[in-house]
Amino acid sequence: MALPECSAANLAQLIGPNATDAAAVAGFICDQFTAVGQRFSDTAFAVDSTYLLFSAYLVFSMQLGFAMLCAGSVRAKNTMNIMLTNVLDAAAGGLFYYLFGFAFAFGAPSNGFIGRHFFGLKDVPTVAFDYSYFLYQWAFAIAAAGITSGSIAERTQFVAYLIYSSFLTGFVYPVVSHWFWSGDGWASATNTGNLLFGTGVIDFAGSGVVHMVGGVAGLWGALIEGPRIGRFDHAGRAVSLRGHSASLVVLGTFMLWFGWYGFNPGSFTKILSAYDSGNYYGQWSAIGRTAVTTTLAGCTAALTTLFGKRIISGHWNVTDVCNGLLGGFAAITAGCSVVEPWAAIVCGFVAAVVLIACNMLAEKVRYDDPLEAAQLHGGCGAWGIIFTALFAKEEYVNQVYPGKPGRPYGLFMGGGGKLLGAHVIQILVIIGWVSATMGPLFFILNKMKLLRISTEDELAGMDLTRHGGFAYAYEDDESHKPGIQLRKIEPNSSSTPSAES
């Protein structure tokens, strides 16, 4: 029921003729109510902005997770190199996303293909978004670049990292995010005036926009570079080149897990939104449900990978479990806000199967990806897009994407096949766009001899040949000082200890 307007004329009638100055009293009361209403409005803006900033900080903390995961997954001789590339993904990505990327992604009003306003954050803030929104989207952009760096680790020239990272965050990724997240995007679920198949693409936090973009870009880089020296023997059989630190892999995985609670729940961008005023259930409840679905998908994928790899290889491998966990997260990212918790378990189970199958296929075709990034983010991301089209619940779809009642939802939930059709198109256009942009870039860099390092550098390790020394100090200057010295005693096979000794 609509509330009556608080105006001096209306209140003067209620006060009656006995008041000395009814109009003045009514005006005073209305002014107080208006001031209180403005304070509530200010508080709502502050709460939503704080929530988005906190989510941006969580997503940015994933860069530390990427750095630790990458460092642990490569050999010790390339540790400094891979960690430096992660730092530069954030630094170069920050400048190029500020100058071009954000405008290409969210520069409305624009056409359905690319944005054309807000270059260098000109005219920001606006009614639509504040600076906190830029920061949040920048954290997403550099996550896509971080995915790609893992695929081409241990054999890529430093200048190639700078070029591809700037191009990906400044142009390739922003165009994709415009298509599916901007209100003007041709396939966006928020473009209610022109919805693809009447529904648009529901890629809530980016299984396609972030993970598939990074995974497909990494796929092309690794294919054009070729495998690392020693990854496959002369007969074509795979040779394991294990990373040097499982501890760093686990640390990085937990950091990424922590950051994913900003990645998925944070994609609501607002928390203080009521679906039905005065009710305990609102957007804050949907945010909690999104965190739950994210958790269940990752946990299920981790356990499925654990037992699946045990059956295949006979080992309980912590690195495989960590990758399985991340594969579950990458898959649930698209539909985390619109599916039931039980469906997230299905998502995680299938994501683990997809990851294992992709890794087996990669070995058969002699594809080398040190972090399984293309398989994990590309393969599991594609499954997440399909999963959402199958299990999206009508109630949740209408709550998360209001303004278009009766839009199609998940096929298995009774919503028909239109959403599935839109999501198949999303997969195809992402593969096509990233292949058409990043593929030629890597090809040109390779032809110009700017992509792969020399054989000598690869065998010696880039830390020593390109970065001035190893990441770890194997000798301590203190060891040369006088005092008690410990030395390793080698066993002597020619003699055995005597009883007297």
* Residues sharing a CB contact under 8 Å with residue 193, sequence separation 6 or more, in sequence order: none
- Give just the sign of the alpha carbon dihedral 490, 495, 499, 500: negative
- Residues 128-141: tens digit of each pLDDT: 889 999 999 999 99
pLDDT of residue 489: 46
pLDDT(338) > 80:
yes
pLDDT(19) > 70:
no
Q: Which two tokens stand for residue 419?
A: 């959403």
C-alpha to C-alpha distance for 444 and 448, rounded to whole angstroms: 6
pLDDT of residue 129: 87
pLDDT(479) > 50:
no
Task: Read off φ and ψ for residue 402, nearest 5 degrees.
Answer: -75, 175
- Residues 21-40: tens digit of each pLDDT: 666 666 777 777 777 877 87
Average pLDDT, the chain: 89
pLDDT band at 18 (very low <50, low <70, confident <90, very high): low
pLDDT of residue 277: 78
pLDDT of residue 128: 83
Q: Would you mind telling me the total number of residues written for the chain in this entry?
A: 501
Task: Read off φ and ψ for residue 197, nearest 5 degrees.
Answer: 60, 25
Task: Identify the structural domains of the chain with CATH numbers, from first to last.
Answer: 45-111+121-233+249-274+282-460 (1.10.3430.10)
pLDDT of residue 3: 52
pLDDT of residue 45: 87
**Single-letter amino acid, residue 87:** V
Only one residue has tokens 């902005």, namely 49
**CA distances (Å), origin 195, targets 179, 336, 391, 403:** 11, 21, 20, 11
pLDDT(494) > 70:
no
pLDDT(171) > 70:
yes
Whether 335 and 393 have beta carbons less than 8 Å apart is answered as no
pLDDT band at 9 (very low <50, low <70, confident <90, very high): low
pLDDT band at 156 (very low <50, low <70, confident <90, very high): very high
C-alpha to C-alpha distance for 180 and 21, rounded to whole angstroms: 58
Query: Taking the C-alpha atoms of 406, 412, 416 and 421 in order, what is their torsion angle to the nearest 10 degrees?
Result: 110
Q: Which two tokens stand for residue 295?
A: 């958790």
Average pLDDT for residues 339-367, to the nearest whole number? Answer: 97
pLDDT(487) > 60:
no
What are the residues facing 156 on neighbouring strands? Answer: 452
Average pLDDT for residues 410-429, to the nearest whole number? Answer: 96
- Residues 444-478: tens digit of each pLDDT: 999 999 999 999 999 999 999 988 888 887 665 44
Average pLDDT for residues 417-435, to the nearest whole number? Answer: 97
- Residues 271-321: tens digit of each pLDDT: 988 888 778 899 999 999 999 999 999 999 999 999 999 999 998 999 999
Of 175, 47, 165, the closest CA to residue 113 belongs to: 175
Task: Read off φ and ψ for residue 188, nearest 5 degrees.
Answer: -75, 140
pLDDT of residue 23: 65
pLDDT of residue 44: 85
pLDDT of residue 22: 61
SS3 278: coil
Q: Is 499 exposed, middle or buried (0-12, 13-18, 19+ CB in 10 A)?
A: exposed
Percent of the chain whose predicted confidence (pLDDT) is above 90: 76
pLDDT of residue 496: 42
Whether 89 and 153 have beta carbons less than 8 Å apart is answered as no
pLDDT(58) > 90:
yes
pLDDT band at 480 (very low <50, low <70, confident <90, very high): very low
**CA distances (Å), origin 103, targets 120, 174, 204, 290:** 8, 8, 20, 28
Whether 173 and 439 have beta carbons less than 8 Å apart is answered as no
pLDDT of residue 278: 78
Q: Is 166 exposed, middle or buried (0-12, 13-18, 19+ CB in 10 A)?
A: buried
C-alpha to C-alpha distance for 300 and 287, rounded to whole angstroms: 20
pLDDT(486) > 50:
no
Percent of the chain whose predicted confidence (pLDDT) is above 70: 89
pLDDT of residue 308: 96
pLDDT(236) > 70:
yes
Q: What is the pTM of this model?
A: 0.88
Average pLDDT for residues 365-390, to the nearest whole number? Answer: 96
C-alpha to C-alpha distance for 121 and 107, rounded to whole angstroms: 10
**Single-letter amino acid, residue 396:** Y
C-alpha to C-alpha distance for 170 and 162, rounded to whole angstroms: 12
